[in-house]
Structure formats: C-alpha cells, structure tokens
Amino acid sequence: MAITERRLTAILAADVCDFSKMMGENEDRTIQNLRTCRELIEGSITSHNGNIFNTAGDSIVAEFGSVVDAVNCAVSFQETLRDRNGSVPEESKMEFRVGINLGDIIIEGDNRYGDGINIAARLEGLSEPGGICISGSVYSDIKSKLNLEFGAMGEQVLKNIAQPVSAYKIDFRGDDPVPMASIGDLDNTPITQPEQSPITVSKVSKTPKQTQSEKPSIAVLPFDNMSNDPEQEYFADGITEEIIAELSRIKGLRVIARNSTFVYKGKVVNIEKASKELGVNHILEGSVRRSGDKLRIIAQLIYTPENSHRWAEKYNGSIDDVFELQDEISRNIAESLDLEFSADSQVVNIQRDHESKLANDFCLRGRHAIVPPTLENLIAANSLFEQALKIDRYCAQAFAGMGRVAILRAWQIELDEKRRKDLTYESEEFIDKALEINPELIDAYYARCIVYSLTNRQEEALNIAKKLVAEYPGDYQSNLLMSTMSLFHGSYLEAEAALKEAISLDPLYGVNNFILIQIRHALEDYSGTLKIFDQYFDDFQIKQLPKNIWGYKLSTLVLENKIEEGEAFLNDIQLFDPTFTIERADSINLLSDKRQKIIYIDSLKKAGLT
C-alpha cells in the first residue's frame, strides 16, 4: 500500500452521546434525528472549508487546512444543535461530543491514518455532551485568534497514544456566551453586563473543596492577553502581578513570585510538570480580554495532585472595576483553600482610592517597559511614570516607579561615579515622595532598602528588611532583601536561611543563585561555590552575568587552587570584555566583612586581575 502524502492537518472528530441507548429505545426515531443533525453538521463543515472523510455509524471525522476554521466550525454547529434541542421534544434531542487536534496524518486516496486522527477521537471522548475538547497544539494556535474561553484539563493519558496530551475544553455556553469573532472584530463583540450590577461573576464550573494535610501553595501563571491589541500585553501582565501580590499577603498560603511563573509566558503549559518545577499544589491560570472600557477576566484554579478544578469563573466589569475584580479572584481563592482574606491581605489596595485609574494604567505600562532594564527601556518606563503623574500628581506608584528606574540606571547602566551618585540621590527623593503619599506602599520600601544598602546605611537597610519579613513572611522580595542585608552584615547563616525561604517562593529565578554564590564564598565553602557555577551556568551563560559574579568565579577557582583554570577563565572573560578589572569585579559587593573582602580582592590579584 503506497503512502501518497503526509500533511499537518486539523482533525475534527464528532460522536453522538448515548447513541446505543437511543437506538435501543427507538431505532427509527434515532436514525431520523441523526440524519437531521448530520445535515446541520455537514453543512457547517462545508461552509468552513472542511472535508469529511469518515462517517462510520454515528461518528463524523473531518479535516481542515486551518485550525481556526475547524474550531469555528465546531462552535457553529454545536450552537446550532443546542438551538435545535431547545425546540424539539426530549426524546428527539441529540447531543454530540467534539474533539479537535492538530497533527500529522498519512493520506492515501480517500483514506486517512495516523495518531493525529486517533488523538482527535480520544479527545472527543473527554468532551462534555454538547462540548468541545481540543489538544494543546490547537489551543496554542487559536488562543490569541478567537474570542473564546478555555478551561485547562491538564495532561491526559489517552488510550493507545504513547505520550500524554495536554487538553483544553472550550466554554461557549454559559449565561453570557462569547460570540464568535475573527481577529479585528473584538470591538463588535459585546462583553455584556447586567445594568443592576457593575461587576458580574459567572461560575463556569466548581468542584467541592478537597481536604489536604499539606500547606496550600499556589503559582499564578501569566494570564493570556485575549484582546485583539498586542499592546494590551502589559495589562494582562499587570493583572497577573497584582493577583500574585495580593495572594502573597494571605497568611498560610505560599505563593510563587512573578519571576518564576513568567518563565511559562507564551507557552503551552504542562500543568503537572509546572507544579513539580514550582513546588506547588495549586495553579491559577486565566485570560484577560479588554474591549474599550469593558473587561472580562477568566480564571480557573487547579488542584494539581488530582489534576482537578477547584473552580473556574468568569468576571465581567468595566476598566474602573479592575481592582475589585482582582480582589474578588483573590478572595475566591482564599475561600476555596479555607484561608482568611482580610484587610491585612489588601496592602496593595490602600493607594487605590487616591489614584486615577488612568494613572494606574500608565504605571502598569511603565512596570512592563522596565523589563529587561536596558537604558532604552528605562527611559521609556520613566516617561510613562511621568505621564501618570501628569494625570494624578499624587500617584504613589509612579513616584516609586521613577525611584526604581533611577536606581537601576545608577547601578546597572552608569559608569560615571558622579552621575551614579546623582541618580541615587534622585531615586531617594522619588521614593520619599511615594511613601509620603502612601506610607504602606511595599514597592517603595523595597527600593528604599536597596538605596540605603548602596549608600552605606546598612543598619537602616537591615531594619527595613526585618520589618518587611515580619509583616510579609510569604513575600519573595522581602526574604531576598533580608538575605542580602544579612550577607552584608556578615550574618551568613541568617542570610542562607532567608535565601532558602526566598528560593521556595521563587525557585526558577536566577538572581537567587547570585546571592547563594556570595553566601557560600563568604562561608569559605569554595567547592560548594564552584558546584553552583557548574550546575547553573555554562560558558556562554557566565558571560551574560553581572561582572561581580565573574569576580566570584575567578576568586573561587584561585582559592580552590585551580590556578591554571582561573587564568584560562580570566583570559576568556577579558577577550569578551576588556574593561573587566578589580574595580568592576568589586562594584556591587555585598560584603562588609573586612576579612572576607581582603580574601576576595587578594585572590583576584593572584589570578592576574588588575
């Protein structure tokens, strides 16, 4: 049998629910209803450029050149069948399950073969009656192209399929269904809201609370931007960050910080794998759709040990309700985990009544623009914070943002010592203004702690770090600051303990390794220090690190008596960056311990660095 062609194709498989039962009750009626429904389905397939290649029994299998066409087709005929079922007697109702996969198939004449088809058929079996189940490959292709709402079903082990397949359900049937639209039609797609209430919450699904002995922990994956405008990415990221911030204030809940969860941004996530990598038993994922002043947020909480949903909900409101919507999501999570969502949990909200929503929007843009902190990005971010202040001169977040920009420019960009001092002083002025407006703004305290530590006010910096950890023990940044300030003060074991807690809250963030390297070096565990380098950084990655980390590798090689290896490393680095000197290696040194500082500098000199 000759294979004529292989093709990447979207496969749609549909099957009647309870068909055998219907046949047993009344064969003639069932066959007549099947013919009627098939005509509707086949008409939709044809109009969406599909090709039917199998109609055995009560099933239909079709191929499409476009994933968008396949999904549009399925939604179209499922809605048509739903309308039909609403107008016929109970015994004549007929529901179909649908599975859609994007995969490689083998074509020979009118026959089609391959796992691409088999997966679609297995996904159809996972679908709810009248529903649609899609593979991760389909989801990845359509999530930013169609105005639909998705529910993650996690990794599914499918019969006769070698590898687990990630699956998603499409929800288009709630109290407020999302009309189909192509790209560019979002403004014409209504996000409806009842007049009697500015915010509505539609519960798509909910499972009973599950009892568990382990401490609840959660990772909030980056919310997908489902708006037509890619420029709204900052808005979806901002909502994700705000929810993380609010959840981290809830006592008894361990929350993974932004740096680690944003590693998964733009990827099709294996929920089980992500939960293991992040060390959590719950994952929150969702999407944001903004149309003018209207806003829709979809969120679903997954209990990862059982790969089951705690709840999935749809929040509708206006852009002015964004803070309240975020609060509602955080409150629902707390309630679902039997934790208290109190006023103490809402520290980040304190400034909200005093700042214009439009000013806050510019602050979100500014925070988004900072990453990565290149000079160009920092200038752009500063401009956005300045625009926020033109709208609201009492915008504490904008002052804090400008303080952060100034300190980043001072210590990551500027080489001129006078300019560095000027920017540090400027940063402190902005931070003081932010805290004068809002004495509870945690971002401003982060920045103040860093400024104090870089301007020889280590005691004040340590006091801020201690206060932050005492008030927010589940906050990554507070624990990281505590670690770095303890390191500076020579309290190395305390620094290591605080860093261990920080790593549990942000396990994938590379900065943790920078601090750990300096702690192990200060504890004179040089073999342990080299193990960190070997485990986390190859030769290429080393060159992307801050220059003081180059210094620590060079120092450690010398102190481990690996002189030749140290000389080779220094030659390689200086070929890459001839400006690497002892001064640059010591530019951001967290050590105040004179003995350790002497050990560090002398080892650099021994390696030949000047």
pLDDT of 451 above 60: yes
CA distance 297 to 480: 31
Q: What is the residue type of 490?
A: G
- How far apart, in Å, are the Cα atoms of 45 and each of 50, 77, 288? 5, 9, 30
Q: What is the pLDDT at residue 445?
A: 92
How do residues 326-384 score in pLDDT, each as one tens digit? 888 888 888 888 887 654 444 444 444 444 678 888 998 898 888 878 888 999 999 99
Dihedral class, residue 463 (left if φ above 0, else alpha if ψ from -120 to 50, else beta):
alpha
Cβ proximity of 98 and 132 under 8 Å = yes
CA distance 82 to 453: 64
Banded pLDDT at 590 (limits 50, 70, 90): low
CA distance 284 to 244: 10
Cβ proximity of 311 and 334 under 8 Å = no
Cβ proximity of 297 and 239 under 8 Å = yes
pLDDT of 261 above 80: yes
- CATH of the structural domain 198-347, one choice from 1.10.246.90, 3.40.50.10610, 2.40.420.20, 3.30.1330.40: 3.40.50.10610
| Mean pLDDT, rounded, for 95-106 | 91
Q: What is the pLDDT at residue 161?
A: 80
359-397 burial, b at 16+ Cβ within 10 Å, e below that, comes to: bbbbbbbbbbbbeebeeebbebbbebbebbbebbebbbb
Q: Is the peptide bond between 372 and the residue preceding it cis, with omega within 30 degrees of 0?
A: yes
pLDDT of 185 above 50: no
Q: Regarding beta strands 165-171 and 96-108, do their DSSP bridges make them parallel or antiparallel, or are they unpaired?
A: unpaired
How do residues 555-573 score in pLDDT, each as one tens digit? 999 999 999 999 999 998 8
CA distance 540 to 517: 18
How do residues 6-52 score in pLDDT, each as one tens digit? 888 999 999 999 888 898 889 889 999 999 999 889 988 988 889 88
Count CA atoms closer than 13 A to 335's CA, side-chain side. 9
How many helical (H) and strand (E) elements, i.e. helices and strands, does the chain have? Answer: 24, 15
Superfamily of domain 5-171: Nucleotide cyclase, GGDEF domain (3.30.70.1230)
| Mean pLDDT, rounded, for 208-212 | 45
How do residues 62-80 score in pLDDT, each as one tens digit? 999 899 999 999 998 998 8
Smallest Cα–Cα separation from 130: which of 194, 86, 185, 68? 86
| Mean pLDDT, rounded, for 229-249 | 85
How do the domains of the chain map onto residue ranges? 5-171, 198-347, 350-455, 510-610
Banded pLDDT at 228 (limits 50, 70, 90): low
CA distance 202 to 331: 15
CA distance 103 to 547: 46
Q: What is the pLDDT at residue 219?
A: 95
Q: What is the pLDDT at residue 342?
A: 57
Cβ proximity of 452 and 458 under 8 Å = yes
Tokens standing for 27?
Answer: 């064969």
Q: What is the pLDDT at residue 493?
A: 93
CA distance 558 to 605: 10
Indicate the length of the chain as a whole number: 610
- What end-to-end distance do the CA atoms of the chain give, in Å? 73
Residue 83: how many CB atoms within 10 A of its CB? 10
Concatenating the DSSP letter of every residue in 110-149 gives TEEESHHHHHHHHHHHHSPTT-EEEEHHHHHHHTTTS--E
pLDDT of 242 above 70: yes
Give SS3 for 224: strand
Say which CATH class 350-455 falls into.
mainly alpha
Report the chain's mean pLDDT, rounded to a whole number.
83
